[in-house]
Structure 1
Amino acid sequence: MAAVQSSSSSASGPGPAATKDVAKVDLELGATTLPVNTTVHSLAWRDITVTVKDRETKLPKTIIDNVSGLVEAGEILALMGPSGSGKTTLLSALASRPTPGATPSHTNTLLLNGAPPSPSLFRKVARFVEQEDALTGALTVRETLSFASRLSSAGVSRREREARVDALLDAFGLRGQAETLVGTPLRKGISGGQKRRLGVASQLVTGPKVLFLDEPTSGLDSVAGWEVVRFLREVAKREGLIVVVSIHQPSTATFNLFDKVLLMSQGRMQYFGEVSGVAAHYEALGHPMPVHVNPAEFLLETVSTDFAADREAARGELDEMQRAWASSGRAADLAAAVAAAEEKGTGAALELETAEPKPSLPSVVLTLLHRGFVKSYRDVVVYGIRLAMYTGLAIMMGTVWLRLDATQESIIPFINAIFFGSAFMSFMACAYAPAYLEDYLQFIKEKRNGLCGATAMTVANFLVGAPYLFVFSLVFSAISYWLSNFQPTAQAFFTWVLWLFLDLLAAEGLVVLLTSIFPSFVVSLALVAFANGLWMSVDGFMVPPTILNVFYRYVFHFWDYQKYVFENMMVNEFSERVYSCATVGDGCQCMWQTDLADQCLIRGQGVLDQYGYKPGYMAKDVGIMMGIIVGYRIAGWIVLMLKK
């Protein structure tokens, strides 16, 4: 093995030539001020088994079969295996993350310091870095690390937090991109490899004691991949972290940075132990490792059957190697070490105190508010495009329904304008879905890592959006209301603004709810559009409430928020206004007969009577609207609470 390392490292990665760089990082690490792990000494697991229902046979299918292991503080473990070997599923099981459709075996044992940890405790000490990490594109690299640090700890001074961030920027080679945006759909940001390094750094800054990483070098060149794993190794040694990494095909230099390797194939263990001992193990099985060959490539080729000429023979040979491992001294030593760790922890409650207290709920809300406002004014997709849309809609509406007169010919156009203004403002709230999806994915990551809860997310999301929705309502109304010549009084104008604001609050709450249930842009957009189509159909404009189908009236009409908006905008326009009738020769002809017909006028209440609307219910209807708005947010909060 030594021969392989020395002969291949220079060809497959930075190798010895990077010794000075390692020393340089050691100096950098001295300034990280990351909290040293003095509480979690070991992570062990015994007989991890995961089964799923086979899609074709509908029978249980084992994808992880009795896998055990032990990693101690300061060590970094590589989970390796061919594609489909189960390493990502195992990583999720070790991180206590659910695998969709999977059923863990009752024999599972996950031990922290020799004792099974509670879910809440595990979230406090462990962090998981996804292969495609969720990052907020409108934040800079520095802000991403700073906000992650603020969410994770309350007992760190601003100076110390900045020192941690600066040290991580240096160590991960991101100092030159510190003030660069991560990247949005409309603004180019950092590269894919830099995003991968930032994802790792954003979890390290939270001070974890156990760190899981899913393919952190995927998409990186060999030098960048080596840099990421090298730093993980150094910080693990210095801070006493336990690091578990799933990795596909590292370079020789990267492979040699790991302390231990767990090699898997078809869900079963093929080897677990020191990296330095893997060559001797396979040489004893009759598979000597060639010189000048990347050991990681050799191992993957040895335990893979996907491209074998004779797959049956290859599977038979693989079974023989698996049985040889199960009966080997290394396997027996591993079982004894796991049993010893479990025995040592038996009967003792695992008590881990974090060195830094967690932020309070108000503190988390304020941090999310700060981050949300930064995103909202930098990323035009969030509210900028919607402001442009609403402004364009207001100009279009104001010029189509331009300066309508207070005559009976304008009554139906006024009604149409009221419906158009309220309904399409609500409908266009679906444009918020892509921006919320980014927040949702960020929330899921932070919830899984114990940094943020559903309450903080719900409150912060509402408070960030409300001021913008009020601005939208005011801008839209200031343009369209006076151009269309609705009732020209200040009270009527601000009443219109109020109902438009409530309309948008309810519409955005609906977007948040449906997108949280179905976090897919296409699906959520379709559902929001369908829901708005339903609300438009039963709000009272298409079919007056007096003759609306009984089913839709009692099942949907009374909790349709657009119903209350349309009704009160109608009352706002017609209850205090009169309209002139058409003159025919020496007489007049009124389309609506009211008590002012003898004066050739139409009292606006006559129009309202056809819909069954009466003034005097505004306070009650505002209360109902507030209930609908709060109801949507509570429903969204419940969905976020239930998300795993």
Structure 2
Amino acid sequence: MRNPSDHFLRCINADFDKVKATLKGSMKMRFERSDDPLEHITTSDAIRRLFSYYQHSQHYLTARQKVDEMARVKGTVLDAGGSQASFGMQACTLTKRSFVNMSRDFGYYWLRLVIYIVVTVCIGSIYLNVGTKYNSILARGACASFIFGFVTFMSIGGFPSFVEDMKVFQRERLNGHYGVLAFVISNTLSAMPFLILITFLSGTLCYFMVRLHPGFMHYVFFVLCLYASVTVVESLMMAIASIIPNFLMGIIIGAGIQGIFMLVSGYFRLPHDIPKPFWRYPMSYISFHYWALQQGQYQNDLVGLVFDNQDEELPKIPGEYILENVFQIDVSRSKWLDLSVLFGMIVIYRLLFFAMIKVSEDVTPWVRGYIARRRVQHKRREAELAMIRTPSLRGYVVDAAPELPADHP
């Protein structure tokens, strides 16, 4: 009833003989009778018996035959590393394993799903049936800003799990089990169903509780935009995890990057008021919040709606006017183009994740070798300085005593 590998390791490990010799005179060993055959045989006898059985087995003959075939081949370099599985098999196996791991780990996606649902229910209850009154203009903007800013911000909670995945990948990558591209593709595919589930459930609750723009295509755009934003954050955190193994530092860096992206998204500071050239170009265009919130969801929600004015006698305000004059948004650009930019960012961040792993594989050994060489040179220099400061007595020359004057006492 043992694991076979544990059984045979116990058979050939001489340390157990010392343990048995130590416990031989104890009360437990004196009064208990063990049925384990290994208690009545020494390690040397077990090794001798295993060796004898192996020499008369078919495994020994097969191995000898293969060794003789290799010995007859001259001038051929044997391939000793790498996986024999095809790229498709590697990606498929890694996807299945990663999916099982994510489904069994409660903190990977299930806890985030619960938190997302709780937060979106809170948003829906606060902005419940927001309507088209004059005050609802800024309320709709604030609701969309919170959803695509702070809700997607919570995706950094999966960073510790990303770090654990990277540790497993690095160990298996050193053993040559699979390539970097197979790992990146499998990680992307295995996470996709969970992210779709999270964004679909939470987005649906929020959309219909707040009563955003009616229409099926508007709802589809909202869910797709939320999915793209969450996936972009996941891709960004995976890229950070590839170079920063400390999950606390990674969360701090990821939170700082997202904070900067939210700052130039166009809500806290209107697009035309963002200082140029650095913050407006290129930072606001690099920010995925800018495309998801300012260029995407605002158009999706406001175009086609008509809002009440401050005074009932004044004419109603169309959503296009609000977009151009209040939120400073170019309505001539399609919202679907903005959504395609978000999906393009997903691809870019995944490629960045791939590139960082490849660079880390090449640069890290060189950096470690350089540091090791500098330490060796430093130690050698310290040893040389120590020899100069403490020379041997053999190198000293004893000067003759100085001549004293004749009248010296």
Same-fold status (TM-score > 0.5): yes
Match of 2:39 in 1: 17
Match of 1:631 in 2: 348
Match of 1:518 in 2: 244
Residue 576 of structure 1 aligns to a residue whose secondary structure is coil
How far, CA to CA, are the matches of 2:103 and 2:336 in structure 1?
Answer: 34
Residue 501 of structure 1 aligns to a residue whose secondary structure is helix
Query: Given the alignment of the two structures, is residue 572 of structure 1 paired with residue 300 of structure 2, yes or no?
Result: yes
Query: Given the alignment of the two structures, is residue 611 of structure 1 paired with residue 302 of structure 2, yes or no?
Result: no
Aligned length: 321
Q: Which has the higher helix share?
A: 2
Decide which of 99, 109, 115 is 1:383's aligned counterpart.
109
How far, CA to CA, are the matches of 1:517 and 1:355 in structure 2?
Answer: 25
Task: Report the CA distance between 1:470 and its aligned residue.
Answer: 1.4
Task: Report the CA distance between 1:424 and its aligned residue.
Answer: 1.7
Match of 2:261 in 1: 535
Q: Deviations 1:392-417 (Å, cap 9, x if unpaired)?
A: 11101001111112111111111000
For residues 164-563 of structure 1, what are the structure 2 equivalents within 5 Å? 351-353=77-79, 358-550=84-276, 551-563=278-290
Amino acid at match of 1:501: Y
Asked whether the equivalents of residues 262 and 289 of structure 2 are also in contact (C-alpha less than 8 Å), the reply is: yes
Structure 2: unaligned runs, 5 residues or longer: 1-13, 25-36, 362-409
Asked whether the equivalents of residues 39 and 352 of structure 1 are also in contact (C-alpha less than 8 Å), the reply is: no
Asked whether the equivalents of residues 144 and 298 of structure 2 are also in contact (C-alpha less than 8 Å), the reply is: yes
Asked whether the equivalents of residues 299 and 335 of structure 2 are also in contact (C-alpha less than 8 Å), the reply is: no
How far, CA to CA, are the matches of 2:17 and 2:353 in structure 1?
Answer: 58
Task: Report the CA distance between 1:627 and its aligned residue.
Answer: 2.2
Mark the CA change 1:605 to 1:451 in structure 2 (over 3 Å): closer, same or farther. Answer: same
Match of 2:359 in 1: 642
Residue 582 of structure 1 aligns to a residue whose secondary structure is coil
Match of 1:620 in 2: 337
Amino acid at match of 2:280: R
Mark the CA change 1:6 to 1:570 in structure 2 (over 3 Å): closer, same or farther. Answer: closer
Residue 517 of structure 1 aligns to a residue whose secondary structure is coil
Q: Deviations 1:28-64 (Å, cap 9, x if unpaired)?
A: x989x89x877999xxxxxxxxxxxxxxxxxxxxxxx
Decide which of 567, 575, 583 is 2:311's aligned counterpart.
583
Decide which of 314, 317, 335 is 1:602's aligned counterpart.
317
Mark the CA change 1:496 to 1:39 in structure 2 (over 3 Å): closer, same or farther. Answer: farther
How far, CA to CA, are the matches of 1:40 and 1:522 in structure 2?
Answer: 52
Amino acid at match of 1:604: G
Task: Report the CA distance between 1:636 and its aligned residue.
Answer: 0.6
Residue 611 of structure 1 aligns to a residue whose secondary structure is coil
Residue 272 of structure 2 aligns to a residue whose secondary structure is coil
How far, CA to CA, are the matches of 1:620 and 1:484 in structure 2?
Answer: 25
Asked whether the equivalents of residues 369 and 463 of structure 1 are also in contact (C-alpha less than 8 Å), the reply is: yes
Higher CA-based Rg: 2
TM-score (norm 1): 0.46
Task: Report the CA distance between 1:26 and its aligned residue.
Answer: 5.0
How far, CA to CA, are the matches of 1:545 and 1:505 in structure 2?
Answer: 25
Mark the CA change 1:26 to 1:476 in structure 2 (over 3 Å): closer, same or farther. Answer: farther
Residue 307 of structure 2 aligns to a residue whose secondary structure is strand
Structure 1: unaligned runs, 5 residues or longer: 42-112, 114-343, 589-596
How far, CA to CA, are the matches of 1:635 and 1:460 in structure 2?
Answer: 16
Residue 109 of structure 2 aligns to a residue whose secondary structure is helix
Amino acid at match of 1:479: L
Q: Which has the higher strand share?
A: 1
How far, CA to CA, are the matches of 2:82 and 2:355 in structure 1?
Answer: 29
Asked whether the equivalents of residues 300 and 335 of structure 2 are also in contact (C-alpha less than 8 Å), the reply is: no
How far, CA to CA, are the matches of 2:266 and 2:154 in structure 1?
Answer: 20
Residue 242 of structure 2 aligns to a residue whose secondary structure is helix
Amino acid at match of 1:389: I
Residue 204 of structure 2 aligns to a residue whose secondary structure is helix
Match of 1:249 in 2: none
CA RMSD of aligned residues (A): 3.5
Task: Report the CA distance between 1:349 and its aligned residue.
Answer: 5.2
Q: Deviations 1:333-391 (Å, cap 9, x if unpaired)?
A: xxxxxxxxxxx9xxx75622569970011100001011011111111111101101111
Asked whether the equivalents of residues 83 and 176 of structure 2 are also in contact (C-alpha less than 8 Å), the reply is: no
Asked whether the equivalents of residues 125 and 209 of structure 2 are also in contact (C-alpha less than 8 Å), the reply is: yes
